[in-house]
Amino acid sequence: MPIEVQTTQNVTIDYEPAGIGYRLLAYMVDWLVIITWFGVWFGILYNIFDFNSGNLFGSELFWLFLSIIVIGPAFFYDLLFETMNNGQSPGKMLFKIRVVNIDGTPPSLGAYLIRWLFRPIDFSMTEGILGLIMIVATKRSQRLGDYLAGTTVIDLKVNSKNRELKISDLDFHEDYKVSYTNILDRLSDKDVQTIIAITEDDKMKDNDYFNKRLADRIKAITGYTYDGPDKVFLKKVVSDYNYLSLQ
C-alpha cells in the first residue's frame, strides 16, 4: 500500500513501504556501526587506563564516563538518529529508507520513542521473529513498534524504480518558458504523479496508444490544446507543473 508523502514544494509523491530485505540490511549495518563504536572506545580506554588495576573498576568516575560517553549513545542509537536525522539511521540512509507516519508526515518524538521502546520486543526478545511476521503480515509493513506508533518505513525510490526524484531531473534553466501558467489550478499533485508513473513505466512509455489516451484525458481536464507529439505534451505539462510548484 503506497504512502503519500508531501514534499516541501507541496508535491505529493507516492512511496512504497520498504521491503523486508532492505530493512534487514539496514538493521545489520546499524549493528555494525554500534560494534565499531564499542571497538573504537575499547581501544581508546585500553590505551588510557590500566585495566589490571583494581582501583579502575571501583572508580565511580570511570563507570560514569563509560555509561554516558560509551554505552549511552549505543543504547539510544536508533532513537537519537531517527529523531535528529529525519527518520534515518546510518543503515537506513545507506539503503535509502526512512521512518514516516502512515499519513506521510514526519513522526513526532513520541512516535519515535514508542518505536524504540518496542524494538527489543520486535527483535531481541523474540529473536526477530515477531518483527519479521508483523512486517510481512501488515499492509503497511509495520512491526509492532510501528503499528503502535502509527509509523512505517518507506522506500525513498519513487515507485520502487530505483530512482529518486531530484530537482536536477526537471531540467530547468534560467530562461525556462512556462506554457501553461494556470496548470496548478487545473491539475492536482496526484494527477501529475499519475502522468509521471505512466510515462516512465517500461511497458507503457513507448506505447503510442497509452500516451494518446493519457494526453487526450489531460487535454479534456485542462482544456489545453497541442498539435505536437503526445509525449512532448505530457513532458511539458509535468515540467510546467513542477516548475511553478517550486516558485
- State phi, psi for 97 to the nearest 5 degrees: -125, 160
95-122: pLDDT as tens digits: 989 999 988 888 999 999 999 999 999 9
The mean pLDDT value for 55-67 works out to 66
Res 199: pLDDT: 80
pLDDT band at 164 (very low <50, low <70, confident <90, very high): very low
Cα 142 to Cα 132: distance, rounded to the nearest angstrom: 9
Matching residue, cell 520486543: 121
Is the predicted pLDDT of residue 1 greater than 80, yes or no? no
State the Cα–Cα distance between residues 102 and 108, nearest whole angstrom: 12
Whether 61 has a pLDDT exceeding 80, the answer reads no
> DSSP string spanning the chain?
--EEEE-TTS-EEEEPBPPHHHHHHHHHHHHHHHHHHHHHHHHHHHHHS-TT-HHHHT-HHHHHHIIIIIIHHHHTHHHHHHHHTTT--HHHHHTTEEEEETTSSPPPHHHHHHHHHTHHHHTTTTTTHHHHHHHHHSTT---HHHHHHTEEEEE-SGGGSS----GGGG---TT---S-TTHHHH--HHHHHHHHHHHT-TTTTT-HHHHHHHHHHHHHHH-----S-HHHHHHHHHHHHHHHHT-
Closest CA to 2 of 130, 167, 194: 194
pLDDT category, 163, cuts 50, 70, 90? very low
Residue 36 has pLDDT above 80, yes or no: yes
pLDDT surpasses 70 at 64? yes
pLDDT beyond 60 at 10: no
Of 6-10, 43-47, 181-185, least confident by mean pLDDT is 6-10
Using CA atoms, how far residue 245 sits from 7, 49, 240, in Å, is: 10, 59, 8
Q: What is the mean pLDDT of the chain?
A: 82
Confidence at 165, pLDDT banded by 50, 70, 90: very low
Distance CA 115, CA 23 (A): 14
User: Residue 8 has what pLDDT?
Assistant: 47
pLDDT above 70 for 246: yes
CA 71 centroid distance within chain:
28
- pLDDT tens column, 205-215: 778 888 888 89
pLDDT for 29 beyond 70: yes
What span, in angstroms and rounded, lies between the C-alpha atoms of 88 and 80?
A: 10
